[in-house]
Amino acid sequence: MTLDLLICPGCRTWSAERIDVRTLAWDRDFLVCECGRRYPVVDGVPIVMRDPGEFLRGELSAVIERDLAPSVAAALVEAGPDDAPYARLLEHLSIYLDAHWGDRSEPPPDGPGAGFAMREILARIAALPRARAAIELGCSVGRVLAELPAEHVFGIDLQFGAVRRARRLLAGERVAYARRMIGRSYVDAATTGTARTAQIVCGDVLDAPYVPGAFDRVVALNMLDSVAHPRQLLAVMDALCERGGEIILASPFAWQSSVMHEDERFGGADPVGALAEILQTGAGLAGPYQIVEQAELPWTLRRDARSAVTYQTHYVLARKGT
């Protein structure tokens, strides 16, 4: 793993003139900082965030889960309730493994969400010129990382169960999972990944632990409406992007009160126009961006054999001023 871009979020400091950071180093089952902080590495995935203890208190079941046979995992959630942590994890993995890797899954996804949700987005990503260093904020189970043209590829997501499987899939492994059919009923499914060298971290995209300005391509697909502070996500992307680099966004702007406060939404009935204005004026960013490409793309998430959610997601590629 390349660690020279991964920094300690616990001792990072800002001033009007500069940002001071320390990079991390391996020490057995931890990444450690000169400041004394250490971050656990579980099944090859570092958990790097300002307060990993708080995260672990809420997500410990996802961190310590084992690779059970899908039929056994499904049996564990049969008795309910629906909102139990492991039941939520199985549902999340079913949705996003189908969405990211459904074209490689056996059997193929069925029902109203059948097909390959990422086809059009991935086609645009794969057609990009090769970058030096690219990062995806909110990489989930890793399909974009597999297709992202770059010499060095990085990914970060807060859902440990997803990034643990992303690491295996990007090692070219076959990953078995439980595909949701109805309610808490599941069937066995499996998908095979693509071997690709990538550094994957479990962490907070709103406090991404990377050297500022280190990337010439920063990607966040369907994340703006999935974080508590969408403008902060834009600021993080801007901070990670070098001068002359590019950011790639996609969002259906499906704002939800359970995710963010009402005043965090922007644009009213025209969030597309509001996002363009933020980028072109550089409001809250280090400077303005030139919008290079925009498109409206389909994004369908299969929830089970009888239901799916279909979005129209707005895709933007913008270049940072030099």
Nearest to 233 by CA among 272, 302, 279: 279
Alpha helices in 3-142 (DSSP H): 52-64, 70-77, 85-101, 119-126
Nearest to 73 by CA among 198, 136, 165: 165
Nearest to 222 by CA among 293, 140, 111, 294: 140
CA 108 to chain CA mean position, Å: 23
Query: The whole model's pTM is what?
Result: 0.96
In the structure, what pLDDT confidence band is assigned to residue 47 with cuts at 50, 70 and 90?
very high
For the chain, what percent of residues have pLDDT higher than 70? 99
* CA gap 264, 61 in Å, rounded: 30
Type and span of the H or E element at 318: strand 307-320
pLDDT tens digits, one per residue of 121-146: 999 999 999 999 999 999 999 999 99
Taking the domains of the chain in order of start, what are their residue ranges?
Answer: 46-320
Asked if pLDDT for residue 297 goes beyond 90, the answer is: yes
pLDDT tens digits, one per residue of 239-275: 999 999 999 999 999 999 999 989 999 999 999 999 9
CATH of domain 46-320: 3.40.50.150
Nearest to 206 by CA among 183, 172, 231, 178: 231
How many C-beta neighbours within 10 Å does residue 159 have? 20
Strands 38-42 and 45-46: antiparallel
